[in-house]
């Protein structure tokens, strides 16, 4: 289970749930965990930072703003390191006091103080790692690289503390004789499991080996993700003339001109790259040579041989992970990772992916045939290539359904989608209302804060909206919690959603693609998971659930995007206020299964690459020079190798698997089985009703990780999950 042991670890490791909808092409990356690991104890060189920490540092005491909201207006780059160094020292002292207690271990003198420990580090690391993703800069990136191994050492000092583990083990061994409530019983079991998985039962010699492995991983993983961000910005496509951008809207061309101007390229145009292999402009650009240049630049990331080359880093990470898994008694990293997920085993994941792959590829090949026919109908004398897929998909869509995605955008203005779509659905299903809080400080002018209210008018928590793309922000879409809910700590939730919507020129409306609309609903599903959390212990708060379960509630929330009553409330022309014509809505719904062969195949290809890397034994890991051959062979062996459809992420810019989704990218399709079955339940039980919403909230959204994930699902659904609704949704048939 992806459940951090301590509040501190939850703060600094878990950057939260990330969207990667496999039924869309939205750019949704999950550099989910700035994964840290172990190194030697802190050296004397680091102690001056501790001495600099004092009352003038905004992390010194708990925020006095509403609901402990971070004081962003007072936080400066110079505050992070002294706060985190002092926070580590504080927590080690707290842990030592627990571990050295001569009284017999109890919940009150062992687990409760562990849950409360690390308050300073918790505050500082939450904000630091959140902004390292949302609004980074050179100082933050330098500190991220240097602090990772120090945090690693800190976590090892806790998780490999023999005296502390002895107390935890004593509680675990004595569970049968204790009368504990269900959540506390789970806390005992999960805390014990966390210690064992962290190596607490290893010999002293093996613990040192583990620390060295984790220390190296901390550095390598940080280097990898920093390379991805830097190269994404570095490889932005520079175009000399507006004529080359034919097919893009006037607003998109103006945005490209603004992007060029910001890089001192006056008179030129810049198309930024997103994280995924595919790029949004490929669906519109009529210039085939430019489409090819964009796509090849995207696919070449991490392979250039220059400063951002990630091949050697990735192979080292894979080998160390494989060695660490064997040290822990597992065949490979996937076996180690999956033993703590709902899937449990690599065989279960392999079977699920192999079951879906043939139908997905068959559909994709049929789609490719349709695209080739369209090329030939228009007089093209070339074979369909990967950079043509999106462009001709829109033409086939227009031919089959008599509309294209550009017809939707005038009806999808961003704030209207949020307020009259996302928030409206939350009001109808859960009784929530929202009010802007401009009095609360933000870390960037584009950020907005909303207070969320219950149906009875009481305050539930705060929601932070950060939707625009910028160079200081990593790609993708994700949710994080600045203040996770906890009854023990008397915390109400403060959660944030991050998207990467291109910002239009000043004065222009922000018009969304349908993928961006779906992503907004998806990420708010994560936000609801955090906002509705009602648990005692911070380790179980909100999205602290297994990786292959965390996407499930957010995917369920996507259903409201095209729910007729919701769509009718927000899909209105941004100039005239006219509702989206019913016939256009019908076309949107009718085309929901369109291009699903492509969408499923590119996702499965990435998922299978993830498993291929993490089911290797140390001696099987390829060299950096052999990486491309390994990737090609893995896709061919799995039956998903199609030149026209590269994996959603190639290995060298696949940040998910360097972060918290290592051996876990399958999670989206695994969760979608639960999602599709749950959507079926809603429809069978009356759809958008408060009664259904309250049942979903009470049995599932409020429980966080306080119960076993699949038990939570069964409590909601009343049955085991059924894969058939997923197959029907994606238009897949399995013979």
- Report how far residue 69's alpha carbon sits from residue 53's, in angstroms, rounded to the nearest whole number: 21
3-state helix, strand, coil in the chain (%, to 5): 55, 5, 35
Q: Which residues pair with 434 in a beta bridge?
A: 452
CA 574 to chain centre: 30
Residue 523 is a catalytic residue: yes
Q: Which residues pair with 562 in a beta bridge?
A: none
Angle between the N-to-C axes of helices 514-531 and 423-430, in degrees from 0 to 180, rounded to the nearest 10: 40
In 22-118, which ranges are continuous DSSP H helix? 47-51, 77-99, 112-116
Three-class DSSP labels, 605-625: HHHHHHHHHHCCCHHHCCCHH
Contacts of 373 (CB under 8 A, 6+ apart): none
- Report how far residue 172's alpha carbon sits from residue 178's, in angstroms, rounded to the nearest whole number: 10
- Report how far residue 607's alpha carbon sits from residue 669's, in angstroms, rounded to the nearest whole number: 9
Contacts of 540 (CB under 8 A, 6+ apart): 3, 183, 186, 187, 704, 705, 706
At residue 131, the 3 state secondary structure works out as helix
Contact 31, 655 (CB under 8 A): yes
Three-class DSSP labels, 648-695: CCCHHHCHHHHCCCCCCCCHHHHHHHHHHHHHHHHHHCCCCCHHHHHH
Question: Are β-strands 237-239 and 269-271 bridged in parallel, bridged antiparallel, or unpaired?
Answer: antiparallel
> Considering 81, 465, 516, 523, which one is annotated as catalytic?
523
DSSP string, 362-402: HHHHHHHHHHHHHHHHTT--S---GGGHHHHHHHHHHHHHS
In 31-76, which ranges are continuous DSSP H helix? 47-51
- Report how far residue 638's alpha carbon sits from residue 318's, in angstroms, rounded to the nearest whole number: 20
- Report how far residue 655's alpha carbon sits from residue 474's, in angstroms, rounded to the nearest whole number: 10
CA 45 to chain centre: 35
At residue 42, the 3 state secondary structure works out as coil
Tally the residues of the chain. Answer: 735
Active site residues: 523
């Amino acid at each position: 289970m992806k459940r951090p042991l301590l509040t501190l670890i939850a703060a600094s490791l878990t950057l939260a749930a990330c969207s990667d909808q496999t039924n869309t092409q939205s750019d949704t990356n999950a550099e989910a965990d700035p994964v840290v690991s172990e190194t030697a104890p802190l050296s004397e060189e680091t102690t001056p930072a501790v001495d600099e920490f004092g009352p003038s540092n905004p992390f010194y005491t708990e925020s006095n703003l509403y609901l402990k909201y971070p004081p962003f207006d007072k936080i400066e780059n110079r505050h992070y390191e002294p706060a985190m160094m002092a926070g580590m020292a504080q927590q080690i002292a707290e842990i030592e006091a627990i571990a050295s207690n001569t009284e017999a271990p109890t919940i009150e003198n062992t687990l409760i103080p562990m849950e409360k420990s690390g308050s300073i580090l918790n505050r500082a690391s939450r904000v630091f790692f959140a902004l390292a993703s949302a609004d980074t800069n050179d100082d933050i990136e330098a500190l991220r690289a240097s602090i990772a191994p120090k945090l690693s050492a800190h976590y090892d000092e806790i998780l490999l503390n023999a005296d502390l583990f002895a107390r935890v083990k004593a509680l675990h061994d004595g569970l049968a004789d204790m009368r504990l409530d269900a959540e506390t019983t789970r806390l005992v079991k999960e805390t014990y499991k966390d210690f064992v998985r962290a190596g607490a039962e290893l010999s002293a010699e093996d613990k040192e080996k583990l620390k060295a492995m984790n220390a190296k991983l901390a550095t390598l993983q940080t280097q990898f993700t920093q390379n991805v961000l830097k190269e994404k910005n570095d490889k932005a496509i520079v175009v000399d003339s507006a004529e080359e951008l034919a097919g893009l809207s006037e607003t998109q061309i103006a945005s490209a001109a603004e992007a060029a101007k910001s890089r001192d390229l006056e008179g030129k145009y810049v198309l930024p790259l997103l994280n995924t292999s595919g790029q949004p402009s490929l669906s519109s650009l009529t210039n085939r040579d430019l489409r090819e240049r964009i796509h090849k630049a995207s696919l070449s990331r991490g392979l250039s041989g220059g400063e951002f080359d990630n091949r050697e880093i990735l192979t080292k990470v894979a080998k160390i992970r494989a060695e660490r898994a064997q040290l822990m008694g597992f065949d490979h990293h996937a076996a180690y990772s999956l033993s703590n997920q709902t899937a449990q085993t690599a065989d279960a994941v392999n079977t699920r992916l192999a079951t879906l792959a043939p139908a997905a590829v068959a559909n994709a090949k049929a789609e490719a045939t349709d695209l080739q026919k369209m090329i030939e109908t228009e007089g093209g004398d070339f074979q369909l290539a990967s950079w043509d897929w999106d462009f001709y998909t829109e033409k086939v869509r227009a031919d089959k359904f008599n509309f294209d995605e550009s017809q939707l955008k005038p009806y999808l203005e961003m704030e209207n989608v949020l307020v009259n779509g996302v928030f409206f659905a939350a009001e109808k299903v859960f009784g929530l209302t929202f009010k802007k809080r401009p009095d609360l400080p933000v870390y960037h002018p584009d950020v907005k804060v909303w207070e969320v209210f219950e149906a009875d008018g009481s305050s539930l928590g705060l929601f932070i909206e950060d939707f625009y793309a910028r160079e200081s922000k990593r790609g993708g879409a994700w949710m994080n919690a600045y203040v996770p809910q906890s009854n023990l700590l008397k915390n109400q939730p403060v959660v944030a959603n991050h998207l990467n919507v291109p910002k239009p020129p000043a004065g222009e409306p922000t018009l969304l693609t349908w993928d961006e609309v779906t992503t907004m609903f998806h990420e708010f599903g994560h936000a609801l998971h955090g906002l509705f959390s009602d648990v005692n212990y911070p380790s179980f708060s909100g999205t602290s659930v297994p990786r292959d379960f965390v996407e499930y509630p957010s995917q369920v929330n996507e259903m409201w995007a095209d729910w007729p009553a919701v769509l009718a409330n927000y899909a209105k022309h941004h100039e005239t206020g006219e509702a989206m014509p019913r016939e256009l809505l019908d076309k949107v719904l009718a085309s929901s299964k369109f291009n699903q062969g492509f969408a499923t195949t590119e996702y499965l290809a990435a998922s299978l690459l993830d498993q291929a890397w993490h089911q290797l034994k140390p001696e099987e890991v390829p060299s950096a020079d052999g990486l491309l051959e390994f990737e090609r062979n893995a896709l061919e062996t799995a039956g998903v190798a199609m030149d026209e459809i590269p994996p959603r992420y190639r290995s060298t810019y696949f940040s998910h698997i360097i972060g918290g989704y290592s051996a876990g990218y399958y999670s989206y399709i695994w969760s979608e089985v639960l999602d599709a079955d749950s959507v079926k339940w809603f429809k069978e039980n009356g759809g958008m009703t408060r009664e259904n919403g309250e049942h979903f909230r009470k049995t599932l959204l409020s429980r966080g990780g306080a119960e076993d994930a699949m038990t939570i699902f069964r409590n909601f659904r009343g049955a085991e999950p059924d894969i058939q609704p997923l197959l029907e949704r994606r238009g897949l048939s399995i013979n």
